[in-house]
Amino acid sequence: MKNKVSRIFKQIGEFWQDKLRTILTVISVFIGAFTIALTSAVNFGVNDYIDKQVGIFGNDSTILEISKKTESSPFSSPEGPTEYSPDKISIGMAGLSFETLSDEDIEKIKAIDGIEKVEPNKSVSIEYIEGIDNKKFLISARSAISGMVLDTKSGRPIDISSAQPEINLPASYIEALGFKNDEDAIDTTIKLAVKNSATGKIKTTTAKVVGVLNKSLVQDMVGFYNQSVLDEVSELQIAGLPNAMKQSYIGAIANLESDFVSGDNLEKVKKELDRKGYSGTTIEDRIGMVRNIVNAITGALVLFGAIALLAASFGIINTLYMSVQERTREIGLLKAMGMSRGRIFRIFSLEAIMIGFWGSLLGLGAAMLVGRTINNYATETFLKGLEGFSLTIFTPLNGLVVCLTIMAIAFIAGALPSLRAAKQDPIEALRYE
């Protein structure tokens, strides 16, 4: 065993016979490894943060946002202008008209196989929020839906089904509303104001603060309230309106059964919705474009790293060919003394693998060092305030995959020179000058 280990170390020592050539080859591998490792870490970091933000919706595939299917233009179609129908209720926004859902639509959606529960998405707007010192502030607040996992820094997430009106406030509102700190706000009652759509008068209701939210892309400056608050605010807003308008919704939120959250079954639900005149979108559908952009950018950078590795492969081939050329007499002597072709092949293959090993190891180490520097800079500048966002994330598995892949590429690149060394004729090799 000791003899085998000593022979391996001796072979590794011979690997450094021409130091300059070997170092230059290792550097070329280093560049490719560094590029791939760093861009992979950026890809992992950004996608990890996207997953954390989407995680607020629980298992995002179980939630389906549903609305009435519309043509590309609500006013015309390829056949001409769209005919008016008095049975269709629509709402206006930015000069466009959107058809709403009715209670009848909600019942049709509930009947679709694979949909477990449907909740109408009521269009409500909070005019302002009022704290303990009677100061009023604008706020973007929405109702939480079943399956949401709100990230609270203090207190607890709202109980969606509780009869008690509850709200989670953004951290940036705590001091503005007159509270000393997050804990001081917990279990206090605040006022929510809403404008009645029929009269234009302001009505108020109350809600209990049960938690303070962490700052994030999804939760920043946004409050979440439970179903009890939604029902009360909605009632104050639509009181006095015709029944047809009271029973119109901008959309619906559906929870899918566990067997229908992905794959063909999910597509069946979407097709059935489409057949009945509705469109269904998952959270993953909405963020798919963001993921594709991130993956495309980092993929392009990984491609540059791959090109660098391709160039490094030719460097490995050249280095080993030169090594074989310089050690021709040594190879002939070893074969004359009975060393097998396989063993000679292993000697030169090991040299190629060692080039890949050192290049990938140094590249990975440099990428981790640069990645840490980038993270520290980012969290103090353009990512400041986004808790949990690490621009680069290195994992042991990812590092191991990068190293092993590059070592495998180095082995393949060194195969031709190694085969040439193994096939040397001992007599011709000993005559070589």
Per-residue pLDDT tens over the stretch 253-270 = 888 888 887 788 888 999
Work out the average pLDDT over 18-22. Answer: 75
Q: How far apart are the first and last CA of the chain?
A: 35
Write the pLDDT tens digit of every residue in 127-164.
999 988 888 999 888 888 776 778 888 999 999 889 99
Report pLDDT for 87: 54
pLDDT band at 338 (very low <50, low <70, confident <90, very high): confident
Name the residue ranges covered by the structural domains of the chain: 2-55+289-431, 58-279
Tell me the whole-structure pTM to 2 decimals: 0.65
- To the nearest whole number, what is the mean pLDDT of the chain? 81
In the predicted model, is pLDDT for residue 400 greater than 90? yes
Residues 271-302 pLDDT 10s: 999 999 898 888 777 777 777 887 888 888 78
